[in-house]
Structure 1
Amino acid sequence: MTTTTTRVLEPADLDDALAVLRREPVANAFVASRVRVAGLDPWRLGGEMWGWYAGGRLQSMCYAGANLVPICAGPEAVRAFAERARRAGRRCSSIVGPAGPTARLWSLLEPNWGPAREVRANQPMMETSSLPADVPPDPRVRRVRRDELDLLMPACVAMFTEEVGVSPTAGDGGLLYQARVAELVTTGRAFARIDDGEVVFKAEIGAVTEYACQIQGVWVAPEHRGRGLSETGMAAVLHYALREVAPVASLYVNDYNLPARAAYRRVGLTETGTFMSVLF
């Protein structure tokens, strides 16, 4: 008989955790990037990493921080994670991950945690390992300089509010969000086209591992939409990402955002999976 157990992983479990993350390196890029930098210490990681064991081997995990993220989780592991999450109470602002396990996790948690503010059940995950063949990169898209943070922040806040439905300045006045944007600028992973002091296009490379990176925060100023700037801008970001950061670039997008999906396809991104997000 196969015995199962669930426990909080510790720093000594790092090699086993990385082996699980490598099984789906693109889908797991967000969590893997955090583990790569912080290890498994909850204080540095910003949350606990729950491990599900079968027959004494680590098979699945769940990151429990600001987000709740199931990792390589089958139905039995999802049930175990849901039970632990129920006992702990909701501490996260979202549940996000591959659609199958995320949907199962939410179905078990909704009776206790619901209702959610919004459920996005179908978010295509797109990826590419090739530079855009048919769309030239916008030569004006470049890395944002540190002295341009104040210029970039309003665009980031506008993007976040438009995408998530709430402002990132709520609660702490945006201090944590500004710190995250500043980190991306400092590490050279924030990109923008800035015309006459105005951010026209922007995007960031959020998660980075040796296998893949994840592009986020793609945004075009409303008054400049419909001019193809998202395509040429994304082409520029992909040149940076694939040449300097990782061999695969990915992102996930809302299924109803048809213009964005079309733009991403034109720069060579293909749909390879489905994510799901539950927003509180």
Structure 2
Amino acid sequence: MHIVHTIADLRSALAGRGRPAFVPTMGNLHEGHLSLVRTARQHGDVTVASIFVNRLQFLPHEDFDSYPRTWDSDCSKLQAAHCDLLFAPREADLYPEAQTFKVQPDPTLADMLEGHFRPGFFTGVCTVVMKLFSAVFATTGGGAAIFGKKDYQQLMVIQRMVQQFALPITIIAGDTARADSGLALSSRNGYLNAEQLQQAMALSQALKTLAQASRTGRIPLADLETQAIGQLQALGWEPDYLTVRLRSNLQIPSAADLATAPLVTLGAAKLGSTRLIDNLEF
């Protein structure tokens, strides 16, 4: 596996190697990331991953400084997954000057749910992803990029960004990797102690219960969502939201939609000091 740190070196390493399949990450890799790398190998001529902890998508009170950085382990895992090229820019490589030009996503998609509880988050995500896309694809004529469904709203925001800017990039969605307990794999799971890891499965269970109940139409959706939040609170969680939305645009479904439309239930909640997110399509 070839490792580069600058955009110039990345473009040089990609020259003449065909169309890239790209997996952007913030490191602290787990099986979910590696499954995306394996998917990437099926969709391009050269498999590229990046590791960059993006300051722009962290709020001032969030865990940018303490976010787990596990360089040696990450490199070993990527090499074992047969990643061809790792782009690991330093902050000065990706942001050599203050990033005053930023990508502002559509507020009708980005200002709800995660965007409501983490204002500015998707602006930071879109800005870094656009810059990474430029670094990887500008001289290659396009390619594919793989994003996990665990970050469901993020995936939709990136898909819309690529569509609106007519970028020559195919966005491929990777299924959420889960532990045997049902807990969605996440880099932030490392913050949980052994007892919390056992408790953490309650989030995916709550989303499953909410999905099943919403299809019956017997109880108004808003009441079901309130019940789901209350049940997690009773277990010691601090939920931001548990909700059912249309898969197509993340808007609130109508009563008719609840019967047959493709839906997704999404949740975000703190367990102790650790904020976890998850979703379930149904």
TM-score using structure 2 length: 0.35
Larger relative strand fraction: 1
Q: RCO higher in 1 or 2 (8 Å CA, sep ≥ 6)? A: 1
TM-score using structure 1 length: 0.35
